[in-house]
Structure 1
Amino acid sequence: MRRAVILTLLALAGPLTACQRDAQDTAVQSGDVITLRREVSPPQPQVSADLAARGADGCLLGAPPVPKAPPPPLPLTGTLGLWVAEVDPATLQPLRAVGTNPDSLFPLASTYKQAVLWAVLRAVDAGTLRPSERFDVTRDNQSLGSYPFDGSSVRTLAERMIRNSDNTATDILHRRVGLQAVQDVADELGLCRTRLIMPTRDWWVMQAGLSRTFSGTGRWATATGAERERLAQLIDTDARAYRADYLQRRLDGYFDHHYDPALDLITHNVSTPYEFGTLLAAEFLRGGLSGASQRWQRQVMALGYGKSALTLTHRGGVAYFGGKGGNGWRLLTYSGYVETTDGRHLVYAFMQRDAAQTYTMPNTRRAFAWINAGIQAVLDAPERPPEAGPTPP
């Protein structure tokens, strides 16, 4: 069955809209992305070492021992992961939590885009990115799906990235702050299994067999640190050589005839439910942002999908919600941060890969039935004692 790959990672609050015009066939004006990488000097990490349960290598330890999440109330296929936790806003430690496969690796799809927003706001605070800076859509930076108009500001691109899951808006912002600047969001928290470095078009170029760098080396899958950054820059250069419509045709052929699910974990940005839940807690509760940037972050993240799907919302129990989801070929992800009206702070990360369904958006109701069951189990649980095991930063 033929399907439009541009549905991958689209807005979860509404259907895909057709592109309104052709992208301009001009070179990107900001220059080589490699020269932009070190423009950003992010703030120092805001998580103290004494709060971080890390190994000798500086990496966050695995999920603490917590009760298994309740089974999904509605059937879900494939490999599933869930982490739901109430966190202490002062220490970011989980007070209560449930999990299923919390340390298993999953592709993030569009859920990763909130890390781009965080990196953007860090750059704004560092003075290396002006909120008024404007960008055009070019052959060089257009990704799949609908895209913003020329002259869009940082704020417009950020809103489209979260509300509409606009891939071009994401790639423009990701490259502007630097590929490594987005990866730094995870690295500074010791989330060593979390990869956030790749813009959206790069994933598809690798899957479509169009990256000579990716196809010519077996080192990408396990690369870390400076080697991962070097290869990511080369893969990104490969990706920017192709028009979006050509990439779309090649990607259609890949999914129709050559799809390899093992490539999803190699080409996509990835994380585990537990590591991504840790990122969510830090993002919303200790993001290291100025007051103005923190307000901006909360306003934009409130545009993401999920609030209307939460049982707590319909009970009048949500004081604030920020979330993001993503979907792809046999992939589905949802994540969110919730402040309840009685003052509790919740995070959730749902992940699905290798689903029986190629188009996974219809699984949304089933996914949130499980998320809601996990949230209720956490709200009903006794507080986790400090001696029960290691805690996240």
Structure 2
Amino acid sequence: MLAPVRSAPFWNLLPPEVKTVALTLALLGLSVTVGACRKPEPGTARAPVVLERRTVPETPEVTQIPPRRRADGCLEGAPAVAKAPPPPHHLSGRLGLWVAQVDPVTLTPVRAVGTNPDSVFPLASTYKQAVLWALLREFDAGRVSPTERFDVTHQNQSLGGYPYDGTNVRDLSLRMIRYSDNTATDILHRRVGLERVQAVADDLGLCHTRLILPTRDWWVAQVGLSQTFNSTTRWAAARGKDRLNLAALIDKDAQAYRSDYLQRKLDTYFEQRHKLDDDLRVHNLSTPYELGTLIAYEFLKPGLSPRARKWQHEVMSSGYGRSALRAQHAGNVVNFGGKGGNGWRLLTYSGYFQTKDGRHVVYAFMQHGADQTYTLPLTRRAFAWINEGVDAVLGPQKPTKSRKPKH
């Protein structure tokens, strides 16, 4: 989940109990790293609703027109919606947000707000939910068994913590989402197939969404260790078979290096020559709107069997975000699934939840180029903005008063 650099704590190297403490502190607004986080600026009043593209009523109601595809099969950009309220606390860098109540049948937005919904951002570990969805498709097709076991090798070990030898597919999927385990992710990504993970986006016409590379691959490419990546100018625009062929060669390059060697190279890269444009060249990518669309289908129309849906719910509900939602503290969340990701100057959070009265909400937050190199302490600020977006879509989510214990 974190960018693996020596100057910042390594999220995936931390034991689960330390991660829990770190997230709790982050939500309380406390810094848990060495290095200065900017102090929150005074909260700003919510601005009047302004437009992204056309005049709409003050309520962010959206005309329910099914998503349309262009002649090339790509989904058109986000519908015209009201601009999201401003972040209540300072968030630096380039920002994107999409919060929408979606119709559970058509999956079109009923009410939505957005900021830069069609801008492309690195996904970091948020992409791992697509690996789970692709895995469950393979499970339903009878090509993957949840009891299949894997060992950790020099070829498949990624950065950070990693599972014990002999861990089965079911437990790897839980590690991938709950602990954002990179090695578990890469094992499953390769087992499913690079092209089948990418197909999660391609089947929906999400042409700005790239999901094809396992975690180690993008880091190897970023530091210049992939001869394939270094020798081509086609990668950014590659699609279909061309992208798959290049990705397979990059993946082969990546498996040639030990993870400790890659770690040292990354330390030097991030400390001395990191460029934001490099993130966009190598990372898996999406836009807030396209990721929100993917999440809507992932949770409401995944095309999975009841057994696979149960597996999906159990794993995705362990992802981070439920406790950070005001709607949860208002007692208004009955189903939830979420995933976050962070790295060197980038942070992402996404999720789905269903309310007590049957409304379905998706959200996607993206930040790239933050002033802070280690972004996990920005979690509280990120969710403060997500919650503002949820309030704009659903109405204010007011926490219920805690009852005094009976004597």
TM-score band by shorter chain is 0.7 to 0.9
Between the aligned partners of 2:67 and 2:244, the Cα distance in structure 1 is 25
**Is residue 15 from structure 1 mapped to residue 19 from structure 2 by the alignment?**
yes
**Which residue is equivalent to 2:70?**
55
Identify the residue that residue 145 of structure 2 maps to in structure 1: 130
Contact 1:148-1:169 within 8 A present in 2 as well: yes
Question: Residue type of the partner of 1:3?
Answer: S
**Partner amino acid, structure 2, of 1:180:** E
1:276 positional shift: 0.3
Deviations 1:330-353 (A, max 9, x none): 000000000011110000000000
Tell whether the 8 Å contact from 1:81 to 1:102 is kept in structure 2 after alignment.
yes
Matched pairs, number: 349
Is 1:10–1:166's contact at 8 Å kept on the other side of the alignment? Answer: no
Q: Which secondary structure state, in structure 2, belongs to the residue aligned with residue 238 of structure 1?
A: helix
Aligned equivalents of 1:380, 1:178: Cα separation in 2:
42
> Which consecutive unaligned segments of at least 5 residues does structure 2 have?
22-64, 397-407
How far, CA to CA, are the matches of 1:280 and 1:270 in structure 2? 14
Alignment of 1:297-308 (within 5 A): 297-308=312-323
- Taking the aligned partners of 2:170 and 2:86, their CA distance within structure 1 comes to 40
Contact 2:13 2:161 in 1 (8 A): no
Matched, 1:96 2:111: yes
The AA in structure 2 aligned to 1:228 is R
Relative contact order (alpha carbons < 8 A, sep ≥ 6): 1 or 2 greater?
A: 1
State how far apart, in whole Å, the 2-side matches of 1:347 and 1:12 are.
27
Which of 104, 107, 122 matches 1:107?
Answer: 122
Query: Which residue does 1:284 correspond to in 2?
Result: 299
Q: What letter is aligned with 1:264? A: D
Equivalent of residue 219 in structure 2, options 195, 204, 211: 204
Q: Secondary structure at the match of 1:275?
A: helix
Q: Which residue of 1 aligns with 2:310?
A: 295
Q: 1:260 aligns with which of 268, 271, 275?
A: 275
Aligned equivalent of 2:174, options 141, 155, 159: 159
Pick which of 331-340 and 213-222 moved more.
213-222
Q: 1:271 is matched with which residue? A: 286
3-state SS, counterpart of residue 303 of structure 1: coil
Question: Which runs of at least 4 in structure 1 moved beyond 4 Å after TM superposition?
Answer: 8-14
Q: CA RMSD in A?
A: 1.9
Give the Cα separation in 1 of the matches to 2:243 and 2:13: 24
The AA in structure 2 aligned to 1:281 is A
| From 368, 373, 376, the counterpart of 2:383 | 368
Equivalent positions of 1:1-393 (< 5 A) are 2-4=6-8, 6-7=10-11, 15=19, 51-380=66-395
Partner-residue secondary structure (3-state), 1:249: helix
Q: 1:97 to 1:190 in 2, by over 3 A?
A: same
Amino acid at match of 2:285: V
Paired residue type of 2:342 = N
Quote how far apart the aligned CAs of 1:380 are: 3.0
Unaligned runs of 5+ in 1: 18-49, 382-393
Partner in structure 2 of residue 22 of structure 1: none
TM-score (norm 2): 0.83
Cα pair 1:8 1:329 within 8 Å, conserved: no
**Aligned pair in 2 of structure 1 residues 9, 2: CA closer, same or farther (>3 Å)?**
closer
SS in 2 for 1:284: helix
Name the counterpart of 1:46.
Answer: none
Instruction: Assess if the C-alpha contact under 8 Å between 2:67 and 2:108 holds in 1.
Output: no
Contact 1:13–1:164 (CA under 8 A) maintained in structure 2: no
Check whether the contact 1:7–1:328 (CA below 8 A) recurs between aligned residues.
no
Distance 1:158-1:300 versus aligned 2 partners, 3 A rule:
same
Query: Shift in Å at residue 319 of structure 1?
Result: 0.3
The alpha carbon displacement at 1:3 in A equals 1.6
